[in-house]
Structure 1
Amino acid sequence: MKISTQFDAGAVTVIDVENPADIRLQLRPDNASDFAQWFYFRLQGAAYQNCVMHFENAASAAYPAGWEDYQAVASYDRQNWFRVPTRYENGVLTIEHTPLSNSVYYAYFEPYSYEQHLNLLGDAQGSGLCQIDDLGSTVEGRDINLLTIGNQAASDLKVWVTARQHPGETMAEWFVEGLLARLLDPQDPTARALLDQATFYIVPNMNPDGSVRGNLRTNAAGANLNREWQNPTVARSPEVYYVREKMLETGVDLFLDIHGDETIPFVFVAGTEGVPSYNGRIAELETRFKNAFAAASPDFQDEHGYAKDAPGQANMTMATAWVGEQFKCLAYTLEMPFKDNDNLPDDDFGWNGQRSLRLGEAALSAILSVLPQLR
């Protein structure tokens, strides 16, 4: 048997792979930080053998509560992913699966590769409705690309969407893929109505370096990008620095920052209640957005989520708080689960790329509902 990780986002540490009934592994931390939870590896030579894979350091993961009721994903072709039996006991995460082929992949969540990212950019540009701009380079020299969709008229509302500040949260780029597909569909009436009034600025992947490296939360310099928004630097967090500069140039009327949550098995949003400028107008926009989102997608709910910040207690280094305060606009962090959505569970697939994609499509209906009130 053989375990390998020398591919885009591959990550695991192998201790012992001699006995299929006792494969010993460890989570590999991000390249320049201690965050560990993402894994993605290929197992070969184990067809029709009952493989029991133990992550011996799972208790030291960034979010150990994320292992409760969690099921890993597997695929033979890296296109069709399904859940496999997984348990967490005494600090050890165990995957038990009998592969039906000699080559099988296991991952923390359905991956979204850098090649998929580049294809997404190409497909968007090919629509004829989208302009691609290069804002700058990451720590390791990868492109920070912005998609601009709309007339770019001065009177247009400015809608910003960023995704994958935390690279292991691959569901965020699946979400963007769905949002883009609908927004770029000339036959979709919601898309047409949106682009009559707004220009969209979309960063599908804020953290290309961390994505390729198989990091959970940080870029190549070890920066958690969603804690860099108050004072980003070109040396440590160029991804945030260049996106923030572009926002200051264009302005922002609505901001969505797309993420995944390791622990909470629901789709939810977190707003800007704790920023100094939060007021009744923003609160009313938040309610309108959430009601429209729930009507557009039964996967969305507003009962479970993060505790709201007390007035004046927001963490201003986070994107949603900084943008919401800087532009006095509606700003939301949107979270999707790594596990399943407990409101609409799916035993075979859990929460996955396709469900994230559909949620991205539905988000446009919520955006349309608040557009007339944004200014």
Structure 2
Amino acid sequence: MLNPDGVYLGNYRCSLMGFDLNRHWQEPSPWVHPTLHAVKQLIVQLSQDAKVGLEFYIDVHAHSTMMNGFMYGNVFEEEERVQRQAVFPRLLCQNAPDFSFSNTSFNRDVVKAGTGRRFLGGLLDDMSYCYTLEVSFYSYMAAGSTAPVPYTEDTYMNLGRNVTRTFLDYYRHNNFIDDNKPQTPNHINSTEVLSQGRQGNGIGNEKTLGGERGAERKNLGLKD
């Protein structure tokens, strides 16, 4: 938690001194934003260490108006990088019944330039993925249901477990983990995830993923 003092006072956004910490990643002050400053310094240090592979940054927030869990990601010019960024949210959607890919969006709004997701997305290399994971304060709608289900402490914890399970799936499908177990129907590979994506924005466009992109996909560990 980066805002322990603010949360202790009952704030869910502002720090003890009244600052929205997720708008000050560009130039955090060691006095005004001490937790932010320390974490930023650590991430910069890790990103410069050749022995460390810093692949994911996920900032977890509660959302006061929308339902379900969903993610915000960044916008990139490279189409292939856009496709790779969509893999993790797609896998999470398969694992978590309360996670909504339709609510997930990729943007570069000017007002969000000071967020951790935006700042670190520009700082880290193109094999790193930076997301904001938003989760409703209130409830979620399961697929095929018309009645909202209130979140409880248990369902919040289940979402956390499903995020962890998604990391396992991600690394397994990209051949970083070999558990010598047969693939079950509940497990999908990264290419299948991409092929289910939205047409017209470069995510999951099978024409783009094939042909001239084939060699790049093999280098990325995305197999047919």
TM-score, length-scaled by structure 1: 0.40
Match of 1:238 in 2: 34
Q: Which residue of 2 aligns with 1:90?
A: none
Q: Which residue matches 1:343?
A: 142
Give the counterpart of 1:352 among 152, 159, 165. 152
Once residues 232 and 246 of structure 1 are traced to their aligned partners in structure 2, the CA distance between those partners, rounded to angstroms, is 13
Structure-1 separation of matches of 2:65 and 2:77:
28
Q: What is the SS of the residue equivalent to 2:130? A: strand
1:20-99 matches, within 5 Å, as none
What letter is aligned with 1:303?
A: S
Aligned to 1:235, what secondary structure does the other structure show?
Answer: coil
Q: Tell me if structure 2 keeps the 8 A contact 1:269–1:334.
A: yes
Separation of aligned partners in 1, 2:148 and 2:96: 20
Tell me, in whole angstroms, the C-alpha distance in 1 between the residues paired with 2:155 and 2:146: 10
Paired residue for 2:66? 264
Match of 2:119 among 322, 327, 342: 322
Match of 1:121 in 2: none
Q: Which residue does 1:334 correspond to in 2?
A: 133
**Structure with max Cα Rg:** 1
Aligned CA RMSD, in angstroms, stands at: 2.6
Distance 1:348 1:368, change over 3 A: closer
Q: Is contact 1:292–1:365 with CA below 8 Å preserved after alignment?
A: no
Q: Does 1:227 align with 2:27?
A: no
Matches within 5 A, 1:187-198: none
The answer to whether 1:216 aligns with 2:12 is yes
Structure 2 CA distance, aligned partners of 1:339 and 1:313?
28
Shift of 1:232: 0.2
In structure 2, C-alpha distance between the alignment counterparts of 1:287 and 1:317, rounded to whole Å:
22
Closer/same/farther in 2, CA of residues 309 and 288 from structure 1, 3 Å limit: closer
Q: Is the 8 A contact 1:219 1:225 kept in 2?
A: yes
The residue number in structure 2 matching 1:280 is 79
Structure 2 SS opposite 1:218: coil
| Bigger strand fraction | 1
Q: Which secondary structure does the structure 2 equivalent of 1:269 belong to?
A: strand
Partner of 1:255, secondary structure, is strand
TM-score by length of 2: 0.66
In structure 2, how many angstroms separate the alpha carbons of the residues matched to 1:349 and 1:287? 26
Q: State whether structure 2 residue 96 is matched by structure 1 residue 297.
A: yes
Q: Quick one: distance in 2 between partners of 1:214 and 1:346?
A: 33
1:370 to 149, 165, 170: 170
Q: Which residue of 1 aligns with 2:107?
A: 309
- Which structure's relative contact order is higher, taking Cα pairs within 8 Å and 6+ residues apart? 2
Unaligned stretches of 5+ in structure 1?
A: 1-204
Q: How far did 1:349 drift? A: 6.9
SS in 2 for 1:209: helix
Report the Cα distance in structure 2 between the residues aligned to 1:356 and 1:332, rounded to whole angstroms. 18
Aligned length: 165
User: Of the candidates 43, 49, 64, which is equivalent to residue 247 of structure 1?
Assistant: 43
Runs of 5+ consecutive residues of structure 2 not aligned to the other structure: 48-53, 175-219
> Equivalent pairs: percent with the same residue?
21
Q: CA deviation at 1:279?
A: 2.6
Q: Deviations over 1:297-330 (max 9, x none)?
A: 1211211255x425x8573210101111100321
1:348/1:294 CA distance change after superposition, 3 Å: closer
Quick check: 347-356 or 333-342, which moved more? 347-356
Residue-by-residue CA offset, 1:64-113 (whole Å, 9 max, x unaligned): xxxxxxxxxxxxxxxxxxxxxxxxxxxxxxxxxxxxxxxxxxxxxxxxxx
| Contact 1:338/1:351 (8 A) holds in 2 | yes
- Inter-partner Cα distance in structure 1 for 2:123 and 2:141: 35
